[in-house]
Structure 1
Amino acid sequence: MAELRPVDLATWNRAEHFRHYLDRVPCTYSFTVHLDVTGLRAALASSGRKAYPAQLWMLATAVNRFRELRMAFDADGALGAWDEVHPAYTVFNREAETFSGIWTRYDADFASFEAAATRDIEEHSRATRFFPKDGRPPNAFDVSSIPWLEFSAFTLDIPGAVRHLAPIFTLGRYVERDGATLLPVAIQVHHAVCDGYHAGRLVAALQELATGHEAWLSR
């Protein structure tokens, strides 16, 4: 079971930045990138696999690489970092034209995660409850998918969420441009734990996973 390991503010080199963007100037920010998923999309299509589990796995793998994206507060308000985090995500009910929020436990092995996520999606794709799968772990981060909408910017307005440190992702509809297939990914983070450098490192990791899909998709 993952632990929330304390972050020592007395020795953390970002402690001053953390306090500034948490208390003095509470600040979250969002941005949208377009990942080149040309090869990944083709490989998924040729193998008959669904894109959503692969996208979720990529996000979770990238997030789990970096401590600043796994930070949270404990019950007493102390800062910590989870050993591991899991994706909580939306599934669409086509008949009801609404969605539900479910989650799947992360597994570094793509095939294992894909099987579990596929089962969860199939089981809850016709759910009418907002949260049909019980037991969402506290060490989860949120992902939404809007596959009908192509966007170049997307912002979530969450009043009072200044202590929500986990990143939030929104996936859009594929964009075809100059022979490439691009996936819009909106990313919202808290400046108290994630600077532009860290955000750039996250995006680089996501693109690396997409470009190097043969290393994990064929397992």
Structure 2
Amino acid sequence: MPPSKRPIDLNTYARADILRAFNSRLLPQFSTTCEVEVTGIKRQAEAAGVSFFVALSHAVSSAVNAVPELRHRMIDGVLYEFERVDPGYTVAREGDLFSFCDGEHTSDFGRYCEETQRRMDAVKRQPDLSVGEKHHMFFITSIPWFSFTAFTHPYDPVYGYIPVITLGQYTERAGAVVMPVAVQVHHGVVDGLHVGRFYAKLNELSRQAASWLKLGPDRA
């Protein structure tokens, strides 16, 4: 079930002038890339025997949900804050093609892992490129074939407020696992300050991976 949302009164919204200013721009989004150390997530995923991508996507989803501004969406002229936003993924399939996959965020990693893997397996069997109701989502795409220092996505004005997170190829350096993580957001509701909070939370979750990246009855 899609998460609930509450309308934000633009008459009292502190960013109302900023929102209007950027809505008048031809391209109101900005994208930034930061190298993130994901050693804790990589090592803990290996120890638990789970997909590194699934584990990393859970950390990304948790970090996105921790920043209220990343849950703001403009729908039919009304600004909303969702109580929760769910991840959507691109999933590789045969023939050098891909499919979209809609996920669901939960703080319970074991449940998230099981459900995400089930959904990803399903779209590999029956690909889905439909674009239905997505306002309650954000998107994660993985580019494991190369690293990068900048990344941008096509702009869709209907879903322009949806953050897009891009994960690049990871490398090992002096015992640490690092990878580029790009974030594309709508500048009307999100500033560099908020993107910085996302990166800080993602780094924190990687350092603390042993406390949440668990399967079984003793998981956190």
| Length-normalised TM-score, structure 1 | 0.89
**CA displacement 1:175-210 (0-9 Å, x = unmatched):** 222331102111101110011111111110111111
Contact kept, 8 Å, 2:147 with 2:168, in 1: the verdict is: yes
Percent identity (aligned): 36
Q: What pairs with 1:1-219 in structure 2 (closer than 5 Å)?
A: 1-23=2-24, 26-74=27-75, 76-93=76-93, 95-131=94-130, 137-158=134-155, 161=157, 164-218=160-214, 219=219
AA aligned opposite 2:86: H
AA aligned opposite 1:55: L
CA–CA distance in structure 2, aligned partners of residues 195 and 81 of structure 1: 16
- Judging changes above 3 Å, is the alpha-carbon distance between structure 1 residues 154 and 25 closer, same or farther for their aligned structure 2 residues? closer
CA–CA distance in structure 2, aligned partners of residues 128 and 13 of structure 1: 42
Unaligned runs of 5+ in 2: none
CA–CA distance in structure 2, aligned partners of residues 128 and 162 of structure 1: 23
- Judging changes above 3 Å, is the alpha-carbon distance between structure 1 residues 163 and 142 closer, same or farther for their aligned structure 2 residues? closer
- Judging changes above 3 Å, is the alpha-carbon distance between structure 1 residues 87 and 35 closer, same or farther for their aligned structure 2 residues? same
How many pairs were matched up? 214
Contact kept, 8 Å, 1:27 with 1:162, in 2: the verdict is: no
Look up the SS of the partner of 1:106 in the other structure: coil
Contact kept, 8 Å, 1:100 with 1:128, in 2: the verdict is: yes
- Judging changes above 3 Å, is the alpha-carbon distance between structure 1 residues 26 and 130 closer, same or farther for their aligned structure 2 residues? closer
| Length-normalised TM-score, structure 2 | 0.89
Contact kept, 8 Å, 1:4 with 1:80, in 2: the verdict is: yes
Look up the SS of the partner of 1:120 in the other structure: helix
**Offset at 1:157?**
3.7
CA–CA distance in structure 2, aligned partners of residues 178 and 145 of structure 1: 24
Q: Which structure 1 residue ranges, 4+ long, deviate > 3 Å from structure 2? A: 126-129, 134-138
AA aligned opposite 1:117: T
- Judging changes above 3 Å, is the alpha-carbon distance between structure 1 residues 45 and 197 closer, same or farther for their aligned structure 2 residues? same
CA–CA distance in structure 2, aligned partners of residues 138 and 24 of structure 1: 21
CA–CA distance in structure 2, aligned partners of residues 55 and 42 of structure 1: 11
Deviates more, 1:199-208 or 1:178-187: 178-187
Contact kept, 8 Å, 1:175 with 1:184, in 2: the verdict is: no
**Offset at 1:92?**
0.4
AA aligned opposite 1:140: M
